[in-house]
Amino acid sequence: MSYLDDIAWNSDGLVPAIAQDAVTGRILMMAWMNPEALQLSVEEKRAVYWSRSRQKLWRKGEESGHVQLIKELRLDCDNDVIVLQIEQLGGIACHTGRESCFYRVLEDEQWRSVDPVIKDPKDIYR
C-alpha cells in the first residue's frame, strides 16, 4: 500500500493542496493535485500541481521562476486536504505578482486589495 492510497481523492481524482510559508505560516495559495502531481512533488521536493483549466501538470514556477521548495507535507484528519509547507523562491506565489493569492480583505461588504504587487505580472510572464 502506498501513501497515495491514504488520500481521499475527490470524484475528479484530485485533492486540494494549500501552500503555506514554512517560516511565517502565511497561506500563499491553494491549488489541486492528482496522484501524479503529489508523487512528483514528493520525488522532486518542489510543488507540482494539476491545472484544471489546462488539464495538465504544472510545476510551480516553471514560467515565473517562483518555485516552491517543499519543506514538509501534511495531510488533514479526513485525508482530503494537503498542506505543503514551502519555501517560496522570489517571494511571489500569486500570478498577480503578490506574495499571496489571498490579498483581499472583506471590509464594509467590499473586497479590498491590501497587499502590494511586488512585481508587475507583465515583467514575470512574457
Asked whether residue 116 is assigned to any structural domain, the reply reads yes
Asked whether residue 114 is assigned to any structural domain, the reply reads yes
Asked whether residue 126 is assigned to any structural domain, the reply reads no
In angstroms, the Cα distances linking 120 to 25, 46, 87 are 25, 24, 21
Residue 38: helix, strand or coil by DSSP? Answer: helix
What's the whole-number average pLDDT of the chain?
96
How many domains is the chain partitioned into structurally? 1
CA 49 vs. chain centroid, Å, equals 7
Query: To which residue does cell 506565489 refer?
Result: 93
Q: Which residues of the chain have pLDDT under 70?
A: none
Asked whether residue 85 is assigned to any structural domain, the reply reads yes
Q: pLDDT tens digit string along 112-121?
A: 999 999 999 9
- The C-alpha atoms of residue 99 and residue 6 are separated, in whole angstroms, by 31
Q: Which domain holds residue 62?
A: 3-120
Asked whether residue 69 is assigned to any structural domain, the reply reads yes
Asked whether residue 24 is assigned to any structural domain, the reply reads yes
Residue 6: helix, strand or coil by DSSP? Answer: helix
Asked whether residue 125 is assigned to any structural domain, the reply reads no
Asked whether residue 94 is assigned to any structural domain, the reply reads yes
- Going by C-alpha positions, the residue among 72, 46, 42 that lies closest to residue 59 is 46
